[in-house]
Structure 1
């Protein structure tokens, strides 16, 4: 990587903008694309250059970060990246959380067109990406990862190599299972403490000093107490990942009772608060159980 060679990013949502900010702060020339003109305008105001199409971006960039909503969207982008890249073969860094079968299929298609691909889903919210505490889970060919190492280190100073393509998605789904259930448990604990008449802030402070302490208390505890659901991650994305987890568990012959219940809480919270609120809004499904009854009927 050289600092005069532009990188590209496709997808300028919460995660894409956070990743972009790290590159722009590091003085990396950056070209972005999103189908939403408002997001493109925000990206340009932050110091990025906006491409008119994926094909244009692919023709100008040596490395392309893909940070879109789902694996299906990543697959749809491959032909456009391939067409625009011409003889140059940019490295594609897939930061989108996909199902393991999806990313294996995506990597095979990319390989067939000569596009090197790094699987790099990120464990952490957009806020954690911005402050450098998120972790990238890296999988793929060691040579390709090493080729993209300079950029990856800027995007996520914390990273782990977890194996072959597909293994990063498997690890991300298992990590998300624990994280989502921890978040739901925190929401239930806070709602329970409130209902018993405890002061929420005093309870959270006590919980942080207890054997139940977890990082989710720091990232989501105050948001739950203050009902601040400005998104660090969209709750609809959290539900999408929960459904990926449940689907993959089904392929493994497993039933996940906690995650299945937690997904129902997410659906109820979306009914109450909308899909673009923060995942901390899951607490509203517990505070207002009538919404959960509506989902379960």
Structure 2
């Protein structure tokens, strides 16, 4: 599909982390007319991105951030985030007062609060802004972004980030975006397990599950997971999408936060262990819909 970009004045921006999500997101910023500098831990990926999209490949996060009004980050976890933001070669060292960092990493709420406080001490803005929509959402510029942080900083980020988003919403102060993403992952874990059980049950019952999914997808059972993963689950195809390893990382964040705030998440904890079983089957890089693989294994009882 072709993304239509809103008319937004050109900004000097940097994008840190050009993985499966970050690369396409940065590409949308360039296509929308922004001046983009990029950094990636594997330098060749940044050079290749710049050759494809224009812009500038930088040798360090600090170099990428120098002169930027907004810096977008999409890395792996809390430690990765600290490594690109802090230190002599970090993003914060390269920014002038008034610049803003928007972090799209799915990380802990604690690190979001920590990075926001350090940013404020330097006269910088910080928005925790994890995304939902997967690789397809990043490629098509249709991500959903949930944000925490100062409202003024959010309003500065929002029109620029719409280059790769279909919705970007502030849900509270620092850390609220990460907690909202945790809510999202709780929902997905339960939905995928329910869909896996439904398909496995229907297969054992001798039903044509592609037909059944088409029928129930027109009723109350309809969901994004059913529409986008049901048919491939029937076909036993999982070589795409959001990896089990990544989901386990996210659910680890969820369960740690639940321990802190006193939430009871029995289904989420159980599904996390089911994903551990999939990892044991060699499925760490399979799509999260591969939960059904557990149910297709021969029964042991």
Q: If the length of structure 1 is used for normalisation, what is the TM-score? A: 0.88
Q: Give CA-to-partner distance per residue, 1:204-227, whole Å, 9 cap, x none.
A: 212212322111112222232233
How far 1:41 sits from its partner (Å)?
5.0
* Alignment partner, residue 72 of structure 1: 79
* Alignment partner, residue 91 of structure 2: 81
Structure 2: stretches of 5+ with no match in the other structure = 1-7
Contact 2:142–2:164 (Cα < 8 Å) also in 1? no
* Alignment partner, residue 16 of structure 1: 22
**Does residue 141 of the first structure (1) align with residue 150 of the second (2)?**
yes
Contact 2:16–2:74 (Cα < 8 Å) also in 1? yes
Residue 59 to residue 177, structure 1, CA distance change in 2 (3 Å): same
- Looking at structure 2, the residues matched to 133 and 111 of structure 1 have their Cα atoms a distance apart, in angstroms, of 30
User: 1:109-258 residue pairs with structure 2 within 5 A?
Assistant: 109-258=118-267
Contact 2:43–2:59 (Cα < 8 Å) also in 1? no
How far 1:60 sits from its partner (Å)?
4.1
Structure 1: stretches of 5+ with no match in the other structure = none
CA-atom RMSD in angstroms: 2.2
* Alignment partner, residue 63 of structure 1: 70
Aligned residue for 1:148, secondary structure, equals helix
* Alignment partner, residue 276 of structure 2: 267
Residue 279 to residue 40, structure 1, CA distance change in 2 (3 Å): farther
Contact 1:132–1:158 (Cα < 8 Å) also in 2? no
Aligned residue for 1:216, secondary structure, equals helix
State how many pairs are aligned. 289
Q: Give CA-to-partner distance per residue, 1:35-86, whole Å, 9 cap, x none.
A: 124533552353143211112101142211110111222122222112233x
Contact 2:129–2:177 (Cα < 8 Å) also in 1? yes
- Looking at structure 1, the residues matched to 218 and 295 of structure 2 have their Cα atoms a distance apart, in angstroms, of 24
Residue 33 of structure 1, aligned match among 39, 42, 45: 39
Contact 2:16–2:40 (Cα < 8 Å) also in 1? yes
- Looking at structure 2, the residues matched to 95 and 146 of structure 1 have their Cα atoms a distance apart, in angstroms, of 16
